[in-house]
Structure 1
Amino acid sequence: MDVQVGDKLIMKKNHPCGCNEFWVRRVGMDFKIECAGCGHLVMVPRAKVEKNIKKILREESQDHEY
């Protein structure tokens, strides 16, 4: 699964604050994700995150020539 830093993940399960959206802050064997609702940072094993992803929202980078 292609998850990159800066992506917003919509998860199947909610965080205890009630939000199910998380920002990806670090990718590797573990993911560091930040809750979009309360800002809590969580380190989660890659397999657990990939199993619980419902949707990936990615901002398309805009390349500008100056």
Structure 2
Amino acid sequence: MVDKQFELNDVVQMKKQHPCGENRWKIIRMGMDIRIKCLGCERSILIPRKDFTKKMKKIIEKAAE
């Protein structure tokens, strides 16, 4: 299985949308756990990297270098 390549400040789409109705998330912290922030209501959640890679659908926008 190919590991998805994502970086800090990438905007990703998750398989399920947030209760606010938005499904775009920004990666704001990376490590063993990944913190993502909803771009609709600005709430953030911390999820394990393994769960994040399963639940991420695609990368919408790469971070500007």
Gaps of 5+ in 1: 62-66
Structure 2, unpaired ranges of 5+: none
Identity of aligned residues (%): 38
Q: 1: CA distance between counterparts of 2:6 and 2:31?
A: 10
The aligned length equals: 61
Superposition deviation, residue 60 in structure 1: 4.2
Residues in 2 aligned to 1:59 and 1:32: alpha-carbon distance in whole angstroms: 15
Contact kept? 2:37, 2:44, Cα under 8 Å: yes
Higher alpha-carbon Rg: 1
TM-score after normalising by structure 2: 0.85
RMSD: 1.1
